[in-house]
């Protein structure tokens, strides 16, 4: 359990350090392990600590948000933040589905679903609350693609989220899943030849 908690502390510090690096690093936008940790959390902790597995990613996000918001002079609590917590909590609930799973493809599929859900939910909330977006379908598409003028395009956040979530999920899965799960072929040529 202590290694799992250390992993969350490292993820929090990592997110803060990248946040301090600023917007000059386009590769770093949203390249963080928190969603992967939320997804894999139920498998990192024993079942009796299910609440810890659910709460720890939210605490890590809150701690890093507070530090970053103070650094950038942003409001400590906003509707956009609440939406991120709801989206991360939904990813953690999706992670409960992975408990006991020994199929790497299932882990990566859940990671991709979680990333896309997080992106759609948080950018739709931005569209609803940010006056820079017209409250039309075109404004919603803008929120999902190019974002607000003066900021990096939101598609970059999606790209980097997919890359980081899949990478960190795979790294955690490699550590958690038995070696035999990775050695099974996706398709058996013998069974395919019979069909």
Q: Following CA atoms 93, 2, 15, 170 in sequence, which dihedral angle do they give, to the nearest 10 degrees?
A: -60
According to the 3-state scheme, what is the secondary structure of the chain? CHHHHHHHHHHHHHHHHHHHHCCCCHHHCCCCCHHHHHHHHHHHCCHHHHHHHHHHHHHHHHHHHHHHHHHHCCCCCCHHHHHHHHHHHHHHHHHHHHCCCCCHHHHHHHHHHHHHHHHHHHHHHHHHHCCCCCCCHHHHHHHHCCCCCCCCCHHHHHHHHHHHHHHHHHHHHHHHCCHHHHHCCCCCHHHHHHC
Average pLDDT, the chain: 84
In sign, the C-alpha dihedral spanning 139, 77, 96, 38 is positive
Q: Rounded mean pLDDT of 109-118?
A: 96
Tokens of 177: 């899943």
Instruction: Read off the pLDDT of residues 114-140 as tens digits, 9 standing for 90 and up.
Output: 999 999 999 999 999 999 999 999 999
- Asked if 28 and 164 touch (Cβ cutoff 8 Å), the reply is no
Q: What is this structure's pTM? A: 0.82
Instruction: Read off the pLDDT of residues 58-77 as tens digits, 9 standing for 90 and up.
Output: 998 999 889 988 888 888 88
Taking the domains of the chain in order of start, what are their residue ranges? Answer: 2-183
């Amino acid at each position: 359990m202590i290694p799992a908690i250390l992993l969350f502390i490292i993820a929090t510090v990592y997110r803060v350090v990248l946040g301090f690096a600023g917007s000059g690093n386009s590769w770093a936008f949203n390249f963080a392990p928190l969603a992967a940790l939320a997804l894999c959390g139920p498998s990192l902790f024993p079942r009796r600590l299910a609440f810890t597995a659910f709460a720890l990613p939210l605490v890590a996000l809150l701690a890093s948000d507070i530090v970053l918001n103070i650094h950038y002079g942003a409001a400590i609590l906003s509707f956009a933040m609440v939406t991120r917590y709801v989206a991360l909590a939904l990813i953690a609930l999706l992670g409960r589905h992975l408990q006991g799973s020994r199929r790497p493809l299932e882990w990566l599929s859940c990671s991709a679903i979680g990333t896309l859900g997080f992106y759609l939910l948080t950018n739709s909330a931005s569209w609803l609350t940010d006056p820079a977006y017209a409250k039309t379908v075109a404004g919603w598409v803008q929120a999902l693609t190019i974002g607000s003028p003066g900021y990096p395009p939101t598609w970059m956040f999606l790209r980097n989220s997919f890359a980081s979530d899949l990478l960190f999920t795979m790294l955690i899965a490699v550590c958690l899943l038995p070696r035999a799960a990775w050695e099974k072929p996706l398709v058996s040529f013998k069974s395919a030849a019979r069909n």
